[in-house]
Amino acid sequence: MTAMNALLAAIHQTLSSDPAVAALVGAEGIRDRLLPRPQLPCILFGTTSDASVMQAIADLKARGLKIYLYPFMMMDIPPGNGLPDPYGGEEQAAYPWRGRITCFPVSDDGTAAVADQIAAFTDGAEGYRRMVLHYSALATAAGGVDGFIIGSELRGLTQLRDEENVFPFVQALVDLAAEVRAVMGPEPKLTYGADWSEYFGYHPQHGSGDVFFHLDPLWASPDIDAVGIDNYVPLADWRDEDLGAVNPDGFRVPDDVAAMQGQISAGEGFDWYYASEEARLSRTRSPITDGLANKPWVFRYKDLHGWWSNRHYDRSGGAEHVAPTGWLPGMKPIWFTELGCPAIDKGANQPNVFVDPKSAESAVPYFSGGGRNDSMQRRFLEAHHLWWQGEDAPAGMVDPGHVFVWTWDARPQPAFPNNVDLWADGDNWQTGHWLSGRLGSTTLGDTIAAILREHGFDDFDVSQVSGDLNGYVQGEVTSARALLEPLLEVFQVDVAEEAGRLTFRSRLKASLAPKLVSVVADNEDEPLWSESRGHDSDFAAEAVLTAYNPVLDYEQSSSRSRRAAGPSRRTLSYDLPAVLPEDLSLEAAETLLRAQRLGRRTISFAMSPAEITLEPGDAVRLDLPEAANPDGVFIVERVEEASARRVEARHHAPLAPVNRGRPVLRRNGGGNGPEGFAPVLHFLDLPRLYSGEAASFARIAGFCRPWRRMAVSSSITTEGYRTRTTIERPARVGVLTSALTGGVTGMFDEVNAIELDLYFGGLSSAAELAVLNGENRLAVKAENGVWEIIGFVDAEEVAPNRWRLTRLLRALAGTEDAMGAGAAVGAPVVVLDEAVVPLGLLPEERGRSLNWIVESLGPAGGRSGPHVFAGGLRAETPLAPVHLRAQRLGSGDIEITWKRRSRLEGDSWDGSDIPLDEPDERYRVELLEGTAVKRTAEVAEPLFVYPASDELADFGEPQASLSLRVRQLGRAVPLGIPAETIVIVED
């Protein structure tokens, strides 16, 4: 088998035949069968059965819809396939684009071998020709369709030449179109969906300057009704740096629909191109020209009109051919057999790419942060539809009735994309090209416009508003202002009146090039400018945004951001009647907190009355010569007209999109919502950290995404649960990313570090004194099941949601036993704050195993458990003694001493002695040899005399050192935490 045939075997799907279909194509009927792939999961869609195709056609016809059948070839090539790679790799790329199918090796292009390999691909019982004819016959047997696409994006095949510069696969498509026409008759429209980089010609990249309009025989074929193009041309060149500068293409926001329209027949691929990746990074643009024939449209993939309205002449050997191709100007309309953009940050920069971790093609657009952005997709499609249906579009060229948007998925929402157990590609939906699940939503700008129109406003501009918004709830009749103010505040949208027109602008997402102010008024007894800064305690340390979550059956859920260090305990709380997915809600909460912290800085200055260009909403930067200037950019908030124009401005910094990872969606295949409630729960039996009832240190930490309040209930059986407490706030929980071993105690560890991933929130550094006083505490579950309490001074976010903690206080509150056991990678970590709540145990319930369930508080419900947990004992467990010593007396006996510790008020310096936190002072002393206990004694004071006679009986001779285990005995917990060590016997 040739390498090409091996490739065909990898992608081939064996097709079934209905007897009626078999009669049409002259093939024998064969039974449906599945390809055997027991060693691999089901990754791709698979081939739909013939019966399903015919039923779908019948159903669509009954609905009065037009039908276009588009057989689509998927490359089911997993990693580790071992197949020969025509491009020189060790094996073929995983799940590649069909446009990579080519000859083997690729160096055979331009030789006689190409024709043979093309024939092997198209002909035979398992060839491409039979597949296409099969589906054309199937459509005919089902009653016919309105259109049929004979293939798409097979660029690696259509551009292959033989030794005479003939393109065998193009000729095969011409022949195939004629055969399909013979099967389907004259009524259905036929075309081929060429890639946007393929439709207009082939330009070999070997420096010859050759140009071949290689698809013209197909486009000119009488059996082809339209020029099909899969249109994914870029409409933007936006970078984050444009937020603080002027975008060279006139974009005011990343998803500026007017600017995108201006790029459909301009910009990259029309006026200019990037000669290299380095040129793209530096924005060094090279003009597209044609020095040979002054026909730059030949090289412009965006210049559809130039290509469509001219005769085509191939070029070789540095000259145009005398005879034109078979294409005549305007001879057929153009269809967009695909038109799409991913719903991702900066999707218009590179609309053809997509995120799919399993595929070698997976990529994010140029300069994209990778975050979801539905508005980008919507504005891209709006730009195309407005342009091609507008007055500026060339008449008769692009048929607006045949613009097919990629893609709508027939799988039911919300089962797709939420149920990834059924459909493995569900996670790709988040930033993919899908319109299903998005068209019912809106955008922030469209929502503002709808509110204004409903309240009688006509003259407004929302074109500079950027952002997603799934929906907005108006609960009662109210004013436009009352509806708009929460939206404008949460999403940081400024509004100004300009010549009687309301203009809205996204403050953090708009291109705001600052105006340089180099001259200010020099008023007597006043500084040139002044700056004020609010105190940290005046600003919130946490922001909470509550909204309706679409994946929770639209029940309310809250997102929290808490990243600021400082003394403030204030919280910004917003209850927004909007429909927001979790990632968008979290982004808004983080933005609110960030904007408030940045807004601490304000400046004021005065300008001449003649300086009238500066208005509220403008960005400014002071650039006074021979004077100190405030750092940063400021947004003008107020201008007071007087003898001098007094300006007040607030600190501003644009917000570049950040992809913090997708939230875990609730897998609610449309009615099994409670099954998707899977919170992260940690039951903690903590030591006594401060004063309070011992039972109150049995606690629970809970987190789920999206966040929902939770009720915690218990029972001694599996029924009759009684609510004990509620979890009102998400706990900051995570896991270790590196193992945690032993360290020093009683002082700051300046050597070791903790590395962990947090599922939610962040950490902040604190002063040493604050840490000594109880700030920055977390619990790490050790290998022995005990939670080690650790304090930390410095916190650094080394990657999104990954933290490195240094200058540690280890084994706090007597958790040396946990530190000694160590914690492995993946061990749970809980930040100890107000979100970790007491379980509500009664004193008599300490140590009793109970069944616990945790339920979601909300319409969608959901339950986790039962979980078996017994708590409240660690806070009653006597701490390990310290400072063990052994001294040989004159009699030969050994005096062993230690210091006891207290769980209650043990840190006070005022008392004359350490408080005794047990009714009686008792200790158990064990002398060890290896792991064997040689002698046990119980004493009523922190001293034990080991008689010399017992020493000889136990060891046979006097010992220079002793292995000891000493623990305090308690009432509630009989055996305290042991202090186990080897001590030198001092003389």
DSSP-based three-state secondary structure for 401: strand
Backbone angles phi, psi at 316, to 5 degrees: -155, 155
Residue where a domain stops, chosen among 873, 900, 930: 873
Distance (Å, rounded) from C-alpha 951 to C-alpha 49?
A: 87
Given pLDDT bands bounded at 50, 70 and 90, which one contains residue 541?
confident
- For 399-410, write each residue's pLDDT tens digit: 999 999 999 998
Distance (Å, rounded) from C-alpha 416 to C-alpha 406?
A: 17
Backbone angles phi, psi at 621, to 5 degrees: -135, 125
Question: Does residue 395 share a domain with residue 340?
Answer: yes
Angle between the 128-141 and 168-184 helix axes, to the nearest 10 degrees?
20
Residue where a domain stops, chosen among 873, 892, 908: 873
Look up residue 931 and give its DSSP letter. T
Would you say 284 and 175 are in contact if contact means Cβ atoms under 8 Å apart? Answer: no
- For 906-930, write each residue's pLDDT tens digit: 666 666 567 787 888 999 999 999 9
- Beginning with the edge strand found earlier in the chain, give each strand of the sheet holding 493-498 in spatial order: 460-464, 501-506, 493-498
Distance (Å, rounded) from C-alpha 843 to C-alpha 879?
A: 20
* Dihedral-angle region of residue 755 (phi above 0 means left; psi in -120 to 50 means alpha; beta otherwise): beta
Tell me, what's the pLDDT at 25?
40
Question: Does residue 722 share a domain with residue 845?
Answer: yes
Mean pLDDT of 584-597: 86
- For 861-911, write each residue's pLDDT tens digit: 678 888 999 998 998 899 999 999 999 999 999 999 999 888 876 666 666
- Exposed / middle / buried, residue 715 (Cβ in 10 Å: 0-12, 13-18, 19+): middle
Which helix H or strand E contains 468, and what residues bound it? strand 468-469
Question: Does residue 165 share a domain with residue 67?
Answer: yes
Distance (Å, rounded) from C-alpha 616 to C-alpha 507?
A: 12
Name residue 306's amino acid: G
Indicate whether 633 belongs to any domain. no
Say what the pTM is.
Answer: 0.72
Distance (Å, rounded) from C-alpha 256 to C-alpha 511?
A: 11
CATH number, domain of 467, equals 3.55.50.10
pLDDT at 563 over 70: no
CATH number, domain of 918, equals 2.60.40.10
Given pLDDT bands bounded at 50, 70 and 90, which one contains residue 579?
very high
Q: Which residue has the higher pLDDT, 357 or 666?
A: 357
Q: In the block, which residue shows the tokens 């309205």?
A: 309
- C-alpha distances out from residue 847 to 701, 714, 844, 874, Å: 19, 14, 9, 9
Would you say 674 and 862 are in contact if contact means Cβ atoms under 8 Å apart? Answer: yes
Tell me, what's the pLDDT at 16?
36
Tell me, what's the pLDDT at 272?
98
Given pLDDT bands bounded at 50, 70 and 90, which one contains residue 38?
very low
What secondary structure does DSSP assign to 775-796, as a single string? -SEEEEE-TTSPEEEEEEEEEE
DSSP-based three-state secondary structure for 682: strand
Tell me, what's the pLDDT at 836?
94
Would you say 735 and 758 are in contact if contact means Cβ atoms under 8 Å apart? Answer: no
- For 624-640, write each residue's pLDDT tens digit: 988 888 988 999 989 99
Question: Does residue 882 share a domain with residue 839?
Answer: no
Q: Where are the extended beta strands (E) located within 22-62?
A: none
Mean pLDDT of 482-488: 94
Tell me, what's the pLDDT at 603?
93
Question: Does residue 813 share a domain with residue 681?
Answer: yes
Distance (Å, rounded) from C-alpha 948 to C-alpha 954?
A: 10
Mean pLDDT of 569-583: 86
- Averaging pLDDT over each range in 328-342, 627-641, 812-826, which range is the top one? 328-342
Q: Do the strands 777-781 and 493-498 form a parallel or antiparallel pair, or are they unpaired?
A: unpaired
Question: Does residue 911 share a domain with residue 829?
Answer: no
Would you say 490 and 584 are in contact if contact means Cβ atoms under 8 Å apart? Answer: no
- Measured at the CA of 634, the angle between CA 631 and CA 639, to 5 degrees, comes to 130
Mean pLDDT of 96-104: 94
Residue where a domain stops, chosen among 842, 857, 873: 873
Give the chain's length.
987
Question: Does residue 857 share a domain with residue 910?
Answer: no
Tell me, what's the pLDDT at 415?
84
Distance (Å, rounded) from C-alpha 616 to C-alpha 603?
A: 14
Mean pLDDT of 373-388: 97
Indicate whether 361 belongs to any domain. yes
Distance (Å, rounded) from C-alpha 732 to C-alpha 739?
A: 20
- For 215-264, write each residue's pLDDT tens digit: 999 999 999 999 999 999 999 999 999 999 999 999 999 999 999 999 99
Angle between the 128-141 and 113-122 helix axes, to the nearest 10 degrees?
30
Instruction: Give me the number of domains the chain comprises.
Output: 5
Tell me, what's the pLDDT at 418?
83
Distance (Å, rounded) from C-alpha 987 to C-alpha 985?
A: 7
Distance (Å, rounded) from C-alpha 99 to C-alpha 104?
A: 14
Indicate whether 847 belongs to any domain. yes
- C-alpha distances out from residue 674 to 552, 553, 583, Å: 9, 10, 21
In this structure, what token pair is assigned to residue 750? Answer: 């300046």
Indicate whether 261 belongs to any domain. yes
pLDDT at 599 over 90: no
Indicate whether 2 belongs to any domain. yes
Which helix H or strand E contains 60, and what residues bound it? helix 50-62
Question: Does residue 170 share a domain with residue 32?
Answer: yes
Would you say 194 and 301 are in contact if contact means Cβ atoms under 8 Å apart? Answer: no
Distance (Å, rounded) from C-alpha 340 to C-alpha 874?
A: 60
Question: Does residue 865 share a domain with residue 933?
Answer: no
- For 4-16, write each residue's pLDDT tens digit: 333 333 333 333 3
* Dihedral-angle region of residue 260 (phi above 0 means left; psi in -120 to 50 means alpha; beta otherwise): alpha
Indicate whether 587 belongs to any domain. no
Domain holding 469, by residue range, is 442-506
Distance (Å, rounded) from C-alpha 252 to C-alpha 246?
A: 8
Tell me, what's the pLDDT at 295?
97
- C-alpha distances out from residue 947 to 409, 895, 985, Å: 85, 9, 13
In this structure, what token pair is assigned to residue 379? Answer: 């504005």
Helix, strand, coil fractions of the chain, as percent rounded to 5: 20, 25, 50
Find, among 368, 340, 364, the residue nearest to 254 by Cα.
368
- Provide the H-helix boundaries in 822-961: 948-955
Distance (Å, rounded) from C-alpha 573 to C-alpha 567?
A: 18
Would you say 581 and 549 are in contact if contact means Cβ atoms under 8 Å apart? Answer: yes
Which helix H or strand E contains 472, and what residues bound it? strand 471-472
Mean pLDDT of 826-832: 95
Burial 517-544 (b: 16+ CB within 10 A, else e): beebbeeeeeebbebeeeeeeebbbbbb
Distance (Å, rounded) from C-alpha 187 to C-alpha 204?
A: 37
Mean pLDDT across the chain: 88
Would you say 515 and 619 are in contact if contact means Cβ atoms under 8 Å apart? Answer: yes
Tell me, what's the pLDDT at 675?
46
pLDDT at 570 over 80: no
Q: Say how far residue 290 (Cα) sits from the centre of its chain.
A: 43
Question: Does residue 794 share a domain with residue 943?
Answer: no
Q: In the block, which residue shows the tokens 């000669």?
A: 275
pLDDT at 970 over 60: yes
Dihedral (CA of 614, 619, 625, 626) sign: positive
Question: Does residue 881 share a domain with residue 745?
Answer: no
Would you say 924 and 938 are in contact if contact means Cβ atoms under 8 Å apart? Answer: yes
In this structure, what token pair is assigned to residue 372? Answer: 């979801």
Query: How large a percentage of the chain has pLDDT more than 90?
Result: 65
Would you say 702 and 727 are in contact if contact means Cβ atoms under 8 Å apart? Answer: yes
Find, among 800, 594, 654, the residue nearest to 240 by Cα.
654
pLDDT at 36 over 50: no
DSSP-based three-state secondary structure for 21: helix
Question: Lowest-confidence range among 326-335, 388-397, 502-511, 686-695?
Answer: 686-695
- For 408-446, write each residue's pLDDT tens digit: 998 888 888 888 878 888 899 999 999 999 998 999 999
Tell me, what's the pLDDT at 641?
86
Question: Does residue 818 share a domain with residue 693?
Answer: yes
Tell me, what's the pLDDT at 658?
62
Indicate whether 614 belongs to any domain. no
Tell me, what's the pLDDT at 551?
77
Would you say 342 and 418 are in contact if contact means Cβ atoms under 8 Å apart? Answer: no
Find, among 957, 959, 963, the residue nearest to 934 by Cα.
963
DSSP-based three-state secondary structure for 620: strand
Indicate whether 569 belongs to any domain. no
Tell me, what's the pLDDT at 738?
94
